Amino acid sequence: MSSSTPYTVRWGILATGWIAETFTKDLLTNPASRDVHDVRHEVVAVSSSSSKDRAAEFIKKVDAPSSTKAYGSYHELVADPDVDIIYVATPHSHHFQNAMLALDAGKNVLCEKSLTVTAAQTRKLIETARSKNLFFMEAVWTRYFPLSIKVRELITSGAIGNVYRTIADLSVGRDAPEGKIDFPDTNRMVNADLAGGALLDLGIYALTWVFQSLYHTQPEVEKEAPNVIAAVNKYHTGADETTSIILQFPKHRSHGIALTSLRVASEPDNKDTAGASIRIQGGLGEIQVIGPAYRPHQLRIITKESDGKAEILDFVIPKDKERDWGHGMFWEADEAARCLRDGQKESKTLPWSESIVIMEVMDETLRQGGVTYPELISTDVFDPQSPLNTGKR
């Protein structure tokens, strides 16, 4: 293959909900629209545990090629020899069983966040990927944004000195009268059977910023798992509604403050009026990240020398004009493609070891808050016939 021929990855999409649609539409954009020329993506199959018809409707809706195969079960998808990698887009409750199903069938996996319900499940998936020599990655898309790459470069180049503290918030204001939260109790955001709660759904992004700035950017030998102090308020469903975590990295004398809530909003008007959702603070200045923690769009760099004038860097998410689409999830897909091309089993931007430490922080937070999830979704015993794999709800 000549070096000018892009490497093609053939994707299988497992589930047909909101994020599956958003991600698949990104896969179908022209990589040239984001100035990527070395990799490309094909969507070859989609599976729905609800029905084959639903998978077929999805294929039409996202405007995938008519040759895309529709399956009415996850089992059929993972057995398809034309699929190189499976994108797991079910609720977090299902990730462990669904990702295991794919790995067990010899497929590479990109799995939505939060990676699993427990750290033990994450460890099991990683052991399986390692023993089967397969690629496996947690789909924390924000890490692959040019904006995130720039933040990591600024930190490692010493632009704000030693980083001592990061304050990161991802909260959505869904407070409702009479102590309610404005999601039906069955919704995956608050339903404990689907591993609902602020932490696993949103808090993972606040933790991502703490880890990108205080952990990932450290030399390998200096990385340390943090001490964790958590305060958790539970909703009547048993899921956490407001969770605040202090992470202490003693060797580095640094603290991370990760905040998440379903009651109050990081950005009440979605117009940046509330200021930075993330502040990365160093001895010489700070980097402020503007926009929601999962899809930020601006950096403000303020140093002791700034003299009241922040350096502002804007990051626009490119659109494929022909499809009139571009959400920003294509960068993580490009990363997965390059790893497959280069024979790498894990991404350097979010290595397995880091996913484990983050899951351990979430475990500890939930333990301190007394949040527990049902055995069906927290077991680390793989069962191909689990209802989570067969869709028998």
Ligand X SMILES: NC(=O)C1=CN([C@@H]2O[C@H](COP(=O)(O)OP(=O)(O)OC[C@H]3O[C@@H](n4cnc5c(N)ncnc54)[C@H](OP(=O)(O)O)[C@@H]3O)[C@@H](O)[C@H]2O)C=CC1
Contact set with ligand X (CB under 6 A): 15-20, 48-50, 54, 89-92, 94, 112-113, 139, 141, 188, 194, 201, 294, 391, 393
Segment holding 166, helix H or strand E: strand 163-171
Residue 183 as a binder of ligand LJPVP2WV (CB under 6 A): the answer is: no
- Please pick, from the candidates 11, 249, 294, 352, the single residue that binds ligand LJPVP2WV as defined by CB under 6 A: 294
Quick one: three-class SS letters along 337-392?
Answer: HHHHHHCCCCCCCCCHHHHHHHHHHHHHHHHHHCCCCCHHHHCCCCCCCCHHHHCC
CA distances from 12 to 24, 261, 341, 349 (A): 10, 33, 17, 23
The CB-of-224 to ligand X minimum distance in angstroms stands at 27
- Please pick, from the candidates 42, 169, 201, 241, the single residue that binds ligand LJPVP2WV as defined by CB under 6 A: 201
The CB-of-139 to ligand LJPVP2WV minimum distance in angstroms stands at 9
> Which of residues 298 and 390 has its CB atom nearest to ligand X in the complex?
390
Residue 278 near residue 256 (C-beta atoms within 8 A): no
Residue 346 as a binder of ligand LJPVP2WV (CB under 6 A): the answer is: no
Q: Shortest Cβ contact with ligand X: which residue?
A: 17
The CB-of-114 to ligand LJPVP2WV minimum distance in angstroms stands at 9
Residue 209 as a binder of ligand LJPVP2WV (CB under 6 A): the answer is: no
Buried b (16+ CB within 10 A) or exposed e, 219-240: eeeebeebebebebebbebbbb
Residue 48 near residue 72 (C-beta atoms within 8 A): yes
Size of the site for ligand LJPVP2WV (CB under 6 A): 2
Residue 240 as a binder of ligand LJPVP2WV (CB under 6 A): the answer is: no
Euclidean distance between CA atoms 256 and 259, whole angstroms: 10
Euclidean distance between CA atoms 158 and 156, whole angstroms: 5
Tell me the torsion sign for CA atoms 315, 321, 325, 329.
negative
Query: Given 25, 113, 124, 223, which residue is catalytic?
Result: 113
Q: Determine whether 113 is an active site residue.
A: yes
Residues with catalytic annotation? 113
Chain residues binding ligand LJPVP2WV by CB under 6 A are 201, 294
